[in-house]
Amino acid sequence: MSNANEVTVVIVPFPAQSHLNQLLHFSLLLSTRSGLAVHFACSASHNRQAKLRLQGWPLSSLSSIHFHDLPLPPIPSPPPNPHSPTTFPTHLQPLFDATDLIRSPLSSLLLSLSTSSRRLVVVHDHLMSFAGLEAAAILNAESYKFYSPSAAFLCEAEQLRMQGTDLDELFSLEFRLFTERRRKHEFKSSGLIINTCREVERNFLEILATKEAYSGVPVFAVGPLNPAPRHNKTNITRNECLEWLDGHPPCSVVYVSFGTTSTISEEQVEQLAYGLLRSGHLFLWVLRDADRADIFTAESSSRLLPAGFEKAVEGVGKVVRGWVPQLDVLAHRATGGFVSHCGWNSCMEAMSCGVPVMAWPMHSDQPTNAMLLAEGLKVGLVVRGWDRRREVVAAERVEEVVRMVMEGEEGRWMREKARKISKAVRAAGEDGGSSKEALDVLVAHWRR
């Protein structure tokens, strides 16, 4: 830190898993570039969460990043409510509100780092806009906003705001008010960084460039940030899910996971269970509650399945009640389809691995992402349209969609399309690829 010519990059994530995951990948990617000192600043429990759920990188790579535990007092960590009228994770709102308390210690950290750096670069999650304001007060600092959802959703959200249309139903009222407060703290950043690539969202990135809100702001599409998956890696700690997948043929298993912020009702659990059983296909089902504010208070689920279900599916299905290394599961040769909520992390990982998606959006950007995969890229099917979001998906529909994706000519065509997308997405991050070029331009600008 004594090198006055050093460029210091401070990453400021929002403390929710999908946001932490993307920015940790980005931090690790930056740490491989010479001349950059990379710092990751979040609360102690969320730094620990990010490290614990590291995927695709060796644990030793974490030593290349300087982690800073910003103090955060104890906050309520209620469990998710599976009977809530909305699937948005309202139980996490106390955590979201508490991030205001990170501002002061973050300011002190940035000031300290700026004195021993030629240039201080602050990359903050779009929901941590005050970090940009703090950077603006430092002479040798500049800030960049990192947008964690898709470019498609960013275009849609901007259009709705221009029309004066509320984002009702996608988010809770409390979260919408929270984001409005954060928007008031926004400072025009030096650039916008998105975990996407032109091969997937070229049209939306071009539309974004025409939006008044991003006039004169360079956009860097640098995704996918997750490492290029390698099927059946042997140099990683083998999770029990991977051991189970090892025993099954290629493209034979349906992977079911609704991410870390979605919880489905008991009635829906039952219908999903019967639908998977009736499909006759192998399945790996992650049945867990949404994360709490502190995941270490409850890392697994006690959700009940229909009586006798787990015994009935022995040898056919596996139910897991904790977190799993999803990137490795999707990269496994046995995984042939993915029932997903369509969070952007999951979408990018599925596309990287060439796995078709059975889209089941719950909230936020997920309905937009589901349509992008199903109608735009043709690498998936929508299980339940957003217009029917309040309905319980019947077992018959689950069975129908699983069979469509896993069997027959339509399923084979979709799988081939997913493989082509996978090759294009991976190539984007390699030499000569659009995302690699965008990152090269960004880093070169920082080193100027």
**The pLDDT of residue 178 is above 90:** yes
Q: Residue 381: which pLDDT band, with cuts at 50, 70 and 90?
A: very high
The tens digit of pLDDT for each residue in 400-421 reads 999 999 998 889 999 999 999 9
The contacts found for 62-65 with CB under 8 angstroms, 24 or more apart, are 62/28, 64/28, 64/31, 64/32, 64/38, 65/27, 65/28, 65/31, 65/38, 65/39, 65/40
**What architecture is domain 240-426?**
3-Layer(aba) Sandwich (3.40)
| Mean pLDDT taken over the chain | 91
**The pLDDT of residue 99 is above 80:** yes
Under DSSP, the state recorded for 59 is G
Pick the CATH number of 7-227+429-447 from 3.40.50.620, 3.65.10.10, 3.40.50.2000, 3.40.640.10: 3.40.50.2000
pLDDT value at residue 298: 55
pLDDT value at residue 247: 94
CB 284 within 8 A of CB 256: yes
**The pLDDT of residue 267 is above 80:** yes
Cα separation, 223 vs 244, whole angstroms: 30
**Fold: same for 7-227+429-447 and 240-426:** yes
Indicate the Cα dihedral angle 237, 240, 243, 248, nearest 10°: -140
Cβ-Cβ contacts under 8 Å for 280 (sequence gap 6 or more)? none
pLDDT value at residue 235: 46
Region of poorest pLDDT, from 125-129, 227-231, 282-286, 421-425: 227-231
Task: Give the residue numbers marked as catalytic.
Answer: 19, 125
pLDDT value at residue 234: 46
pLDDT value at residue 373: 97
Question: How far, CA to CA in Å, does 429 sit from each of 330, 424, 433, 440?
Answer: 19, 9, 6, 11
pTM (2 d.p.):
0.94
Cα separation, 329 vs 335, whole angstroms: 7
Measured over all CA atoms, what is the biggest interatomic distance in the chain, rounded to whole angstroms? Answer: 66
- Joined tokens for residue 439: 């990152």
The tens digit of pLDDT for each residue in 324-345 reads 999 999 999 999 999 999 999 9
Q: Where are the alpha helices (DSSP H) in 163-265?
A: 173-184, 198-210, 240-246
- Domain borders along the chain are 7-227+429-447, 240-426
pLDDT value at residue 335: 97
Helices 44-52 and 17-31 pack at an angle, to 10 degrees, of 70
**The pLDDT of residue 236 is above 60:** no
**The pLDDT of residue 1 is above 70:** no
The tens digit of pLDDT for each residue in 33-90 reads 999 999 999 999 999 999 999 999 999 999 999 999 999 998 888 888 877 777 899 9
